[in-house]
Amino acid sequence: MKTFKKDELNVRVFETRESMGEAAATEVSNTIAKLLREKEYVNIIFASAPSQNEFLATLKEKDVEWNRVNAFHMDEYVGLAPDAPQGFGTFLKERLFKFFDFRSINYINGSHVDPEQECERYADLLKRFPTDIVILGIGENTHLAFNDPHVAFFDDPKVVKVVDMDETTRKQQVNDGSFPTLDDVPVYAITITIPPLFNATYAYAICPGSQKASAIEHTLNSEIGEAYPSTILRQHDNAVLFIDVKSASRVKLPSSLSN
């Protein structure tokens, strides 16, 4: 592992996805334990994407008091059946949630007859249970959750909202193997917005793979702004970016790196 800092963001570079996932799971589980020494329970928002596979597989093996964790997921397609295999709630259920008795598991209902009403319900939950830890992926267009550049507002007045996904994001879902063709990918999604994600006490972004190299380059080198939503992580006081050598391939690493 090599580490460096870009603005306020701590960056850790690993040789393999497996070593990256192990390190991220260790740090997150340690942070959960630390918080549970100070609080009755911990509130965590989880990302859902193949980039999280190694992390979640290892986190599942850690000694975590899940019965003191309120779990949330950060985005969901509009219009999919609740048990659809492509659903992000299903993704997390199959990889983590079904194995433990959480204090609570709070899913976004993308099939609700009134998506705006569902946004209000989920926003109320997040206000009642302020986020201690957010686990993030970074999209190929640098989105966080489904806050694509055209709908990513760093001062968004909404906590949860319905968005239309841009074509890059929809193609990513095909590239990830979730849908066979672009026409099969939903156009709309419900997402937690940038401010509540950023306001989590601890933020961990996990982003391996060569297909994310451009996104990581922008995350670390582009001007901080809504054109590249993930750049906001460089302003977070307690954020760590976990990447592998493939996703870091377009970044000129500092000459002096610590191990």
CATH number (domain holding residue 69): 3.40.50.1360
- Rounded Cα distance, 151 and 226, in Å: 9
Strand-pairing partners, residue 239, are 203
Residue 141 lies in a domain: yes
- Rounded Cα distance, 72 and 91, in Å: 12
- CB-based burial, 122-156: b 16+ in 10 Å, e otherwise: bbebbeebebbbbbbbbbbbbbbbbbbbebbebeb
Q: Which residue range is the domain that position 22 belongs to?
A: 2-244
Residue 90 lies in a domain: yes
What's the domain count of the chain? 1
Calculate mean pLDDT across residues 113-136: 98
Residue 250 lies in a domain: no
Residue 259 lies in a domain: no
- Rounded Cα distance, 245 and 259, in Å: 14
Whether residue 193 has pLDDT greater than 70: yes
Residue 82 confidence class, pLDDT cut points 50, 70, 90? confident
> What digits encode the pLDDT tens for the residues 10-34?
999 999 999 999 999 999 999 999 9
pTM score: 0.95
- Rounded Cα distance, 55 and 28, in Å: 10
User: Residue 161: its pLDDT value, please?
Assistant: 98
Rounded to 5 degrees, what are φ and ψ at 121?
A: -65, -45
Residue 103 lies in a domain: yes
Calculate mean pLDDT across residues 118-140: 98
Residue 259 confidence class, pLDDT cut points 50, 70, 90? low
User: Residue 81: its pLDDT value, please?
Assistant: 82
Calculate mean pLDDT across residues 196-215: 98
Whether residue 74 has pLDDT greater than 70: yes
* Cα dihedral value 129, 201, 109, 138, nearest 10: 180
Average pLDDT, the chain: 95
Residue 253 lies in a domain: no
